[in-house]
Amino acid sequence: MRICTWNINSVRIHVSHVERLLEEQQPDILCLQEIKVVNELFPEGLGHALGYRHQLIHGQKAYHGVAILSRLPFAQSGTRHWCGKEDARHAWVSVKGGDGKKIELHNFYVPAGGDIPDPEANEKFAHKLQFLDEMADWFAARRKKSSRFVLVGDLNVAPLENDVWSHKQLLKIVSHTPVETDALARVYGSHGWVDALRHFVLPEEKLYSWWSYRARDWEKSDRGRRLDHIWVTPALTSALASAQVLKDVRGWQRPSDHAPVIVELNL
């Protein structure tokens, strides 16, 4: 089973990119974040010709929004709101793996948190921390040894020192501050999650999934951050076959500032 996650930064602008990714990578499931469109205006038939006829769209006008496109039928599906806000940041489905057992897949778009890393001075940052705290509590309450969960999405936190281009310079920059990495660590510990990318790429190695539009030559400067993640519960750790950031996609014409992340599970 191949699962891919991608902050598309407006699905209607990047329809051709989504179709190209589906054709080239052939994931069984594609999870999108920041689709920036209401459900009714999501591109009709996107992926259908390639077999992605099972879709869950959870959008809103101009901001946020998540979607799941799948070749596999959904046994169950749903959405959930967080922090008392209806801002379309979480959708989930369950599908059957090749072994006939269900896998529950959660697609998240965690709030970015604005520019000031102070919850008292910045309401957006406070929202981000509350969102992560609620995630940690929710998954902790559902924790079971047998759970086969996959969590994907733009979590908007680069947790490790080598998940950013400069640990020292970004310690006071939103996405890598200690308060955020601590909050994400609580989510990570809530269900004994395993970071699929770091399962294959040692923490000592630099690894990014996002490069700012502001860089004149993003690839040459390589000032990236790893904001996009795929985690699995312990029951799926032995099934991990591969995981990678599709960095080349960031170099496509008029791209998203995020690169897709893809994982393969041997089920």
Give the CATH number of the domain where residue 40 resides: 3.60.10.10
Question: In the structure encoding, which two tokens stand for residue 223, read together?
Answer: 């000032």
Cα angle 206-211-199, degrees, rounded to a multiple of 5 = 35
Q: How far is CA 33 from the centre of its chain?
A: 7
Q: What is the span of the domain harbouring residue 127?
A: 2-265
123-141 vs 178-190: helix crossing angle, rounded to 10 = 20
- Alpha carbons within 13 A on the beta-carbon side of 83: 20
| Sign of the torsion angle spanned by Cα atoms 238, 176, 59, 69 | negative
Are 251 and 244 in contact by the 8 Å Cβ rule? The answer is no
Question: In the structure encoding, which two tokens stand for residue 241, read together?
Answer: 């076959």
The pLDDT value given to residue 110: 98
The pLDDT tens digits along the chain (267 residues) read 999 999 999 999 999 999 999 999 999 999 999 999 999 999 999 999 999 999 999 999 999 999 999 999 999 999 999 999 999 999 999 999 989 999 999 999 999 999 999 999 999 999 999 999 999 999 999 999 999 999 999 999 999 999 999 999 999 999 999 999 999 999 999 999 999 999 999 999 999 999 999 988 999 999 999 999 999 999 999 999 999 999 999 999 999 999 999 999 999
How many domains, in total, are found in the chain?
1
The pLDDT value given to residue 98: 87
